[in-house]
């Protein structure tokens, strides 16, 4: 089934990893439906994620309509509102962001960037997508069952999640949600094992870890984190499913619900929160680290300069990944856990700010003395820096235990996490799509549409989430269907909410233009050639664009240098590709 | 959350060991030429790494369950389920199964068909007997006043043994698939890569079971209580 | 070049919004101005960092924009600069963390002279319980909840008999007297949140959590539920009225003890049985 390809040039050192041609599909179905080619799976993943992401976008419109113009839309009942909030959050975090960064970019970029022909286990990789699709379908199905989807909030905290006071709690909404999450985790694990093992075991000759583009470092570290963090969510979901269906009391103490005593007893609701956030906090970095990696590469390519402090960047990614496993309880400062934990978790949380800050400095120092081309990817990268710095800094409020007390569970939190893990990573996703679209399709995305898309998204998103911090500061709690006009408001928030909602509608609408651009440019975009950005990393050096099955033609590339040789003094061009054996006259250390 | 954190420390040590071989302090911009990759000795087939990483994931799953169990027992004062003696026998069976799997690898490497067949059968029987034994414990507990929807400690027993049993079952299916694929061929050595992975998986599941068994006995909580007493 | 201008405008606009917009926290009515101070320190430090980072980015974008013939510098790293930046960041982080931890120590240490008030949450209203003449709250559990015992006070606990049961969502507190709120729920998570007091904490069924504060001015303050608790979550409101000590005593006299409460609640049922 698999055949090991012969070596054509015998003057090179022996290969550590055999050059194996992935199985070739012959039937139409094998090529275009049940494809085992990571590049095709990447597009399937991204397409599905974008489709379900559009649903989440519409849900956010509906909930903003309620918040901005309360009472105007009769069909938005409190039940419906909480269902919108819950499904919006869950879809965006899990089914869009996680899926598109790891399943989408991970699948497309890892094999190309490390110089492999495909993922190591293409069949398992294909299964991963189909189980993900099944998870999405189960999620969608919950919109059509009696009682509708769950309205438990994306944190799904028991006991309310499985009780009748919450939409979908006593019906099948919550059951489908949990089943869908369990499926997602199984599917992700199959993909994640592939991404990790491919980076570990399928790098081409010469591609040491320290020569990898930061994109691969970010996705790889995020994958390892996800593999270790998702089991926590898996366990939590299975246990809650047992509580809901089989009458166990894992998370259920003795309860009196609306005057009636239930048969539960002996469980602990806080245990669920520990399990959930043990997954939930690493999840933030599972989304952020790939974004960190990708944005480093976008900045380097479009500023024609090496990433500043590459080693520090790698160390920071690894340190952030490790630390993110011991900060989870900063989501639980006011949950009723033992107050002494506050000291420990506030300290670890604020320490994690230091490696994160180093990354920000190094992005900007990469711009310093660069040759900055203000292309669309660069614009989105700049948008990322602004929104990420903003959202990261408000994290210092919420991570510092005592400052968190008045702010937790207010709109300040909503503004913070949207800025830092909503807007910022999505800026990177857009930038990355403008950057790699030419490799995927062979054509450039339309520039004019892209400019409109960038400016409206960037300024609009900032206008949505910056003022929202102040709504929270005034004291408006999150997950409020309507606040009314309580006396503690120093100024009415209605006008501000209407402004935020209007901006959100505009930002959402412009995404349609972006989608149109993607389809329009497939046919009408300018021909891109193999390496339109004059980039060094391996994916731009494929013999064909878009890359064919097997990626590399007859011979795997050999890697002679790191991924950031831009504007090297004395080099013939302003970039030296990773597979270019050029040696500087001044020497440098030859291996 | 002590159990999962202890587990993560182990994972971090392994990751740290691997990272320490990757020349993280080197200055890649000064080096041109084909550099050797680290950690690619023989025996490090992608399949081996795949199973190792998968065991880390499954280990995380069971450590998480263990954590939840320990938390639960700490909060409800020491309501443990008295485990029937049959569980000890099951543990011995799983230990035997793991041992026989190692024999399978040894005889596959040596190419001795008869030994291979015998140890394969022995390993399968021991593993299936383990599963049957666990099911028997379930029946005994249910009829003994510890049903699934009883006190959380009992629910944990069913959940933990159930998920562990599912993993064992998956292993048997994989083993059967490998043997069937090579049933016709005369070359025993063709089995080696497959059964080697199975053996690794069996050892991993045995290790997880031993840890879970200790926790279910309440030893984990006793140990924690001891630590707390020592600190204060 | 538009982007450089926009970056500058974003900084200017954000600072202006912060300084001149009317949306700011509500005037404090408890001793937790320490929290406000820590928050203000954090605002200053993070605001300065935000402005510096974005303005510097804008400068770079303008100064090093692509022009024909311009070439980027090859500049792999600068260890000294990176260590300096790390050190400065660490100092800034410590400047926020250390005062925060000191205040947290105060936040979790209840003064010995604090009086006790139990806040009781259920879907979707508040009730309260005060220790009666004996000064001790009786034990309580969801186990005991019934029509005549909505708070689940343990009927076999002698300390519970004189506890004052306050329904209807409004409670009085004496000004300048530290109070420890014992938070209890019998169904789902709730969170007792009075914005003027700054302190808040979840109430978790199956356990009792706490916060403490000293009301520092009289007035009528709205209490909200700040932890999502089901469909009517935003409508779960209550009131805390802070009054002078004399008025508080007056109000206290009007409240029913648990014993009386159970009797009045069961009376209609007894009458029915007699007929």
CATH number, domain containing residue A356:
1.20.210.10
User: Residue A276: CB partners within 8 Å, gap ≥ 6?
Assistant: A155, A156, A157, A232, A233, A236
The three-state secondary structure class of A190 is helix
Q: Pick left, alpha or beta for residue C72 (phi over 0 → left; psi -120 to 50 → alpha; otherwise beta).
A: beta
**Alpha-carbon span A571 to A478, nearest angstrom:** 56
The three-state secondary structure class of C193 is strand
In a domain, C54, yes or no: yes
Q: Does C162 lie in the same domain as C179?
A: yes
Contact C222 A488 (CB under 8 A): yes
**Count of CB atoms within 10 A of residue A237's CB?**
24
**DSSP notation for C5-22:** HHHHHHHHHHHHHHHH-S
Q: Which residues pair with C119 in a beta bridge?
A: C128, C183
Which pLDDT score, from 0 to 100, does residue A445 have?
94
In a domain, A12, yes or no: no
Q: Does C186 lie in the same domain as C206?
A: yes
In a domain, C72, yes or no: no
Residues of A76-107 as b/e, b for ≥16 C-beta within 10 angstroms?
A: bebbbbbbbbbbbbbbbbbbbbbbbbbbbbbb
A423: chain C residues, CB-CB within 8 Å: none
> Which range, of A468-482, C23-37, C122-136, C250-264, averages the lowest pLDDT?
C250-264
In a domain, A163, yes or no: yes
Residue in B22, B39, B61 closest to A231 by CB? B61
Contact B24 A314 (CB under 8 A): yes
Contact C142 A261 (CB under 8 A): yes
User: Are A572 and A534 in contact, with CB atoms under 8 Å apart?
Assistant: no
Q: Does C233 lie in the same domain as C130?
A: yes
Q: Which range of residues forms the domain containing residue C235?
A: 115-274
Contact B60 A231 (CB under 8 A): yes
**Count of CB atoms within 10 A of residue C247's CB?**
15
Tokens at residue C6, please? Answer: 């926009």
Q: Does C119 lie in the same domain as C30?
A: no
Mean pLDDT to the nearest integer, C228-257: 91
Q: Which range of residues forms the domain containing residue A188?
A: 33-251+267-541
User: Residue A13: CB partners within 8 Å, gap ≥ 6?
Assistant: A205, B34, B36
Q: Does C239 lie in the same domain as C119?
A: yes
Q: Pick left, alpha or beta for residue B78 (phi over 0 → left; psi -120 to 50 → alpha; otherwise beta).
A: left
Which pLDDT score, from 0 to 100, does residue A387 have?
95
Which pLDDT score, from 0 to 100, does residue C270 have?
47
Which pLDDT score, from 0 to 100, does residue C275 have?
41
Mean pLDDT to the nearest integer, C213-231: 92
User: In terms of Cα–Cα distance, which of A547, A575, A541 is closest to A373?
Assistant: A575
Q: Does C165 lie in the same domain as C37?
A: no
- CB-based contact, C229 to chain A, within 8 Å: yes
Q: Does C269 lie in the same domain as C207?
A: yes
pLDDT, greater one: C257 or A106? A106
- CB-based contact, C186 to chain A, within 8 Å: yes
The three-state secondary structure class of A3 is strand
* Nearest residue of C to residue A334, measured between CA atoms: C201
User: In terms of Cα–Cα distance, which of C221, C235, C249 is closest to C190?
Assistant: C235
Which pLDDT score, from 0 to 100, does residue C244 have?
93
Q: Is 0.90 exceeded by the ipTM?
A: yes
User: Are A332 and A349 in contact, with CB atoms under 8 Å apart?
Assistant: no
Count CB pairs under 8 A between chains A and C. Answer: 321
* Nearest residue of B to residue A203, measured between CA atoms: B37
The nearest CA of chain B is from the CA of A494 a distance in Å of 43
Q: Report residue C227's pLDDT band, with 50, 70 and 90 as the boundaries.
A: very high
Q: Which chains touch B (3 or more CB pairs under 8 A)?
A: A
Residues 155-174, chain C, touching A (beta carbon < 8 A): none
The nearest CA of chain B is from the CA of A326 a distance in Å of 8
- CB-based contact, B149 to chain A, within 8 Å: yes
- CB-based contact, B166 to chain A, within 8 Å: no
User: Are C101 and C144 in contact, with CB atoms under 8 Å apart?
Assistant: no
**Total domains, chain C:** 2
Residue A366 DSSP one-character state: H
Give the 3-state secondary structure of A392-422: HHHHHHHHCHHHHHHHCCEHHHHHHHHHHHH
**Alpha-carbon span C72 to A503, nearest angstrom:** 38
User: In terms of Cα–Cα distance, which of A526, A535, A316, A571 is closest to A436?
Assistant: A535
User: Residue A313: CB partners within 8 Å, gap ≥ 6?
Assistant: A214, A217, A296, A307, A358, A359, A362
Helix (H) or strand (E) holding C25: none
Q: Does C143 lie in the same domain as C93?
A: no
**Residue A27, Cβ density class (10 Å: 0-12 exposed, 13-18 middle, ≥19 buried):** exposed
Cis omega (within 30 of 0) for bond into A328? no
In a domain, A69, yes or no: yes
User: In terms of Cα–Cα distance, which of A415, A308, A433, A422 is closest to A379?
Assistant: A433
Dihedral sign for Cα B41, B45, B48, B50, please. positive
User: Residue C226: CB partners within 8 Å, gap ≥ 6?
Assistant: A408, A409, A410, A477, C191, C192, C193, C200
User: In terms of Cα–Cα distance, which of A454, A284, A474, A322 is closest to A379?
Assistant: A454
State CA A518 to chain mean position distance: 20
User: In terms of Cα–Cα distance, which of A158, A154, A138, A140 is closest to A241?
Assistant: A158
First to last CA, chain B: 20
**Alpha-carbon span A477 to C71, nearest angstrom:** 51
Rg (CA), chain A: 24
Helix (H) or strand (E) holding C161: none
Which pLDDT score, from 0 to 100, does residue C265 have?
67
A499: chain C residues, CB-CB within 8 Å: none
What digits encode the pLDDT tens for the residues C42-56? Answer: 999 999 999 999 999
Q: Does C170 lie in the same domain as C126?
A: yes
| Pick among C93, C208, C210 to test the A interface (most A CBs inside 10 A) | C93
**Count of CB atoms within 10 A of residue B41's CB?**
7
**Alpha-carbon span A150 to A90, nearest angstrom:** 11
**Total domains, chain A:** 1
Residues of C106-135 as b/e, b for ≥16 C-beta within 10 angstroms?
A: ebbebeeebebbbbbbbbbbbbbbbbbeee
Q: Does C263 lie in the same domain as C132?
A: yes
CATH superfamily of domain region B45-231:
Cytochrome c oxidase, subunit III, four-helix bundle (1.20.120.80)
Q: Does C41 lie in the same domain as C120?
A: no
What digits encode the pLDDT tens for the residues C83-117? Answer: 999 999 999 999 889 989 999 999 999 999 999 99
User: Residue B110: CB partners within 8 Å, gap ≥ 6?
Assistant: none
Would you give per-residue pLDDT tens digits along chain B (232 residues)? 888 999 999 999 999 998 988 888 888 888 888 888 876 655 567 888 899 999 999 999 999 999 999 888 887 666 788 888 899 999 999 999 999 999 989 988 888 888 888 898 999 999 999 999 999 999 999 998 888 888 888 899 999 999 999 999 999 999 998 888 877 666 777 788 888 899 999 999 999 999 999 998 888 888 888 888 888 7
Q: Report residue C248's pLDDT band, with 50, 70 and 90 as the boundaries.
A: very high
Please work out, in degrees rounded to the nearest 5, the angle formed at the alpha carbon of residue A296 by the alpha carbons of A202 and B15: 45
B31: chain A residues, CB-CB within 8 Å: 561-562, 588-591
The nearest CA of chain B is from the CA of A488 a distance in Å of 38
Please say if the pLDDT value at position C120 is more than 60: yes
What digits encode the pLDDT tens for the residues C170-203? Answer: 899 999 999 999 999 999 999 999 999 999 999 9
In a domain, C147, yes or no: yes
Please work out, in degrees rounded to the nearest 5, the angle formed at the alpha carbon of residue A360 by the alpha carbons of A357 and A361: 90
**Alpha-carbon span A56 to A139, nearest angstrom:** 12
- CB-based contact, B30 to chain A, within 8 Å: yes
The nearest CA of chain A is from the CA of C137 a distance in Å of 20
**Alpha-carbon span B85 to B82, nearest angstrom:** 9
Q: Does C94 lie in the same domain as C163?
A: no
User: Residue A428: CB partners within 8 Å, gap ≥ 6?
Assistant: A290, A291, A294, A295, A298, A380, A381, A384
Q: Name the one residue in this structure whose structure tokens are 């061929």.
A: B185
User: Are A251 and A271 in contact, with CB atoms under 8 Å apart?
Assistant: yes
Ranges of residues in chain A whose predicted pLDDT is under 70: 1-10, 586-591
- State chain C's mean pLDDT as an integer: 89
The nearest CA of chain B is from the CA of A363 a distance in Å of 17
In a domain, C71, yes or no: no
Give the 3-state secondary structure of chain B: CHHHHHHHHHHHHHHHHHHHCCCCCCCHHHEECCCCCCCCCCCCCHHHHHHHHHHHHHHHHHHHHHHHHHHHHHHCCCCCCCCCCHHHHHHHHHHHHHHHHHHHHHHHHHCCHHHHHHHHHHHHHHHHHHHHHHHHHHHHHHHCCCCCCCCHHHHHHHHHHHHHHHHHHHHHHHHHHHHHHCCCCCCHHHHHHHHHHHHHHHHHHHHHHHHHHHHHCCHHHHHHHHHHHHHC
In a domain, A193, yes or no: yes
Domain chopping of chain B, boundaries? 45-231
């Amino acid at each position: 089934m698999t055949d090991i390809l012969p070596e054509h040039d015998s003057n090179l050192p022996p290969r550590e990893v055999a050059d194996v041609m992935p199985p070739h599909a012959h039937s139409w179905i094998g090529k275009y439906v049940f494809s085992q080619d990571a590049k095709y799976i990447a597009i399937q993943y991204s397409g599905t994620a974008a489709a379900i992401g559009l649903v989440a976008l519409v849900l956010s419109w509906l909930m903003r309509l309620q918040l901005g113009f309360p009472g105007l839309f009769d069909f938005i009942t409190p039940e419906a509102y909480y269902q919108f909030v819950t499904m919006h959050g869950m879809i965006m975090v899990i089914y869009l962001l996680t899926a598109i960064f790891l399943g989408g970019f991970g699948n497309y970029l890892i094999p190309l960037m490390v110089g492999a022909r495909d993922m190591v286990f293409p069949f398992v990789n294909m299964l991963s997508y189909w189980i993900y699709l099944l998870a999405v379908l189960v999620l969608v199905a919950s919109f059509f069952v009696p009682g509708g989807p769950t309205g438990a909030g994306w944190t799904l905290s028991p006991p309310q999640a499985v009780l009748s006071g919450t939409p979908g709690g006593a019906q099948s909404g919550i059951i489908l949600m949990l089943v869908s999450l369990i499926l997602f985790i199984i599917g992700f694990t199959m993909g994640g094992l592939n991404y990790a093992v491919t980076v570990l075991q399928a790098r081409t000759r010469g591609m040491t870890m320290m020569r990898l583009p930061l994109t691969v470092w970010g996705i790889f570290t995020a994958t390892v984190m996800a593999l270790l963090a998702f089991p926590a969510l898996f366990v939590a979901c299975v246990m809650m499913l047992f509580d809901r269906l089989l009458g166990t009391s894992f998370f259920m103490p003795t309860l009196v619900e609306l005057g009636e005593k239930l048969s539960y007893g002996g469980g602990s609701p806080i245990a669920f929160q520990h399990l959930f956030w043990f997954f939930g906090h690493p999840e933030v970095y599972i989304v952020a680290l790939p974004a960190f990696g990708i944005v480093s590469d976008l900045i380097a390519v479009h500023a024609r300069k090496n990433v500043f402090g590459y080693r520090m960047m790698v160390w920071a990614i690894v340190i952030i990944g490790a630390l993110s496993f011991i900060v989870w309880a900063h989501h639980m400062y006011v949950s009723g856990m033992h107050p002494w934990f506050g000291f420990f978790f506030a300290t670890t949380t604020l320490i994690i700010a230091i490696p994160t800050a180093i990354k920000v400095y190094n992005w900007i120092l990469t711009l310093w003395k660069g040759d900055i081309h203000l292309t669309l990817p660069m614009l989105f990268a700049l948008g990322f820096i602004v929104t990420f710095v903003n959202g990261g800094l408000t994290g210092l409020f919420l991570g510092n235990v005592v400052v968190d007390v008045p702010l937790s569970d207010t709109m300040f939190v909503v503004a913070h996490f949207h800025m830092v893990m909503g807007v910022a990573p999505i800026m990177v996703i857009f930038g990355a799509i403008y950057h790699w679209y030419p490799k995927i399709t062979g054509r450039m995305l339309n520039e004019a549409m892209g400019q409109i898309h960038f400016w409206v998204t960037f300024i609009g998103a900032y206008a949505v989430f910056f003022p929202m911090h102040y709504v929270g500061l005034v004291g408006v709690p999150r997950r409020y269907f309507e606040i009314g006009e309580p006396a503690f408001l120093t100024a009415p928030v209605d006008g501000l909410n209407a402004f935020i909602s209007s901006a959100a509608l505009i930002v959402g609408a412009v995404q349609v233009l972006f989608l149109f651009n993607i389809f329009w440019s497939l046919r009408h975009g300018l021909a891109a050639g193999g390496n339109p950005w004059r980039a060094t990393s391996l994916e731009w050096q494929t013999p064909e664009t878009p890359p064919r099955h097997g990626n590399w033609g007859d011979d795997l590339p050999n890697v002679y240098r790191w991924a950031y040789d831009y504007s090297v003094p004395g080099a013939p061009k302003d970039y030296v590709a990773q597979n270019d054996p050029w040696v500087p006259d001044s020497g440098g250390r030859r291996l | 959350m002590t159990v999962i954190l202890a587990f993560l420390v182990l994972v971090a040590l392994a990751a740290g060991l691997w990272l320490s071989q990757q020349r993280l302090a080197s200055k890649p911009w000064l080096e041109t030429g084909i550099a050797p990759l680290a950690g690619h000795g023989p025996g490090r087939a992608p399949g081996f790494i795949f199973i190792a990483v998968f065991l880390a994931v499954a280990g995380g799953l069971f450590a998480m369950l263990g954590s939840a169990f320990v938390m639960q027992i700490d909060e409800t004062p020491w309501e443990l389920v008295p485990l029937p003696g049959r569980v000890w026998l099951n543990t011995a069976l799983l230990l035997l199964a793991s041992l026989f799997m190692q024999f399978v690898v040894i005889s596959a490497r040596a190419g001795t068909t008869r030994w291979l067949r015998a140890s394969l059968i022995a390993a399968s029987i021991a593993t299936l007997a383990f599963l049957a034994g666990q099911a028997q414990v379930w029946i005994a507990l249910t009829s003994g006043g510890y049903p699934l929807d009883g006190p959380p400690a009992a629910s944990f027993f069913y959940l933990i043994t159930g998920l562990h049993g599912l993993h064992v079952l998956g292993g048997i299916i994989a083993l059967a698939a490998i043997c069937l694929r090579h049933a016709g061929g005369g070359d025993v050595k063709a089995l080696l890569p497959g059964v080697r992975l199975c053996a690794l998986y069996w050892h991993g599941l045995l290790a997880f079971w031993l840890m879970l068994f200790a926790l279910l006995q309440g030893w984990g909580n006793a140990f924690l209580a001891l630590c707390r007493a020592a600190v204060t | 070049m538009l982007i450089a201008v926009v970056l500058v405008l974003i900084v200017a606009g954000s600072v202006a919004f912060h300084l001149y917009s009317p949306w700011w926290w509500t005037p404090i009515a408890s001793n937790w101005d320490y929290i406000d101070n820590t928050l203000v320190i954090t605002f200053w430090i993070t605001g300065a960092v935000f402005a510096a980072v974005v303005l510097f980015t804008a400068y770079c974008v303008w100064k090093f924009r692509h022009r024909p013939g311009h070439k980027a510098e090859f500049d792999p790293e600068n260890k000294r600069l990176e260590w300096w930046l790390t050190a400065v960041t660490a100092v800034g982080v410590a400047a926020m963390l250390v005062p925060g931890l000191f205040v947290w120590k105060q936040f979790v240490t209840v003064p010995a002279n604090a009086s006790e008030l139990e806040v009781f949450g259920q879907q979707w209203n508040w009730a309260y319980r005060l220790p009666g003449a004996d000064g001790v709250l009786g034990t309580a559990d969801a186990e005991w909840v019934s029509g005549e015992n909505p708070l689940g006070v343990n009927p076999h606990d002698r300390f519970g008999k004189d506890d004052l049961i306050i329904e209807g969502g409004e409670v009085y507190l004496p000004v300048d007297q530290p109070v420890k709120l014992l938070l209890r729920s019998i169904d789902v998570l709730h969170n007792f949140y009075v914005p003027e007091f700054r302190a808040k904490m979840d109430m978790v069924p199956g356990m009792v959590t706490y916060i403490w504060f000293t009301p520092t001015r009289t007035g009528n303050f709205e209490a909200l539920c700040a932890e999502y608790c089901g469909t009517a979550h935003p409508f779960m409101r209550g009131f805390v009225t802070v009054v002078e000590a004399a008025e508080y005593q007056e109000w206290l006299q009007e409240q029913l003890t648990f014993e009386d409460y159970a009797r009045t609640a069961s009376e209609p049922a007894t009458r029915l049985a007699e007929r």
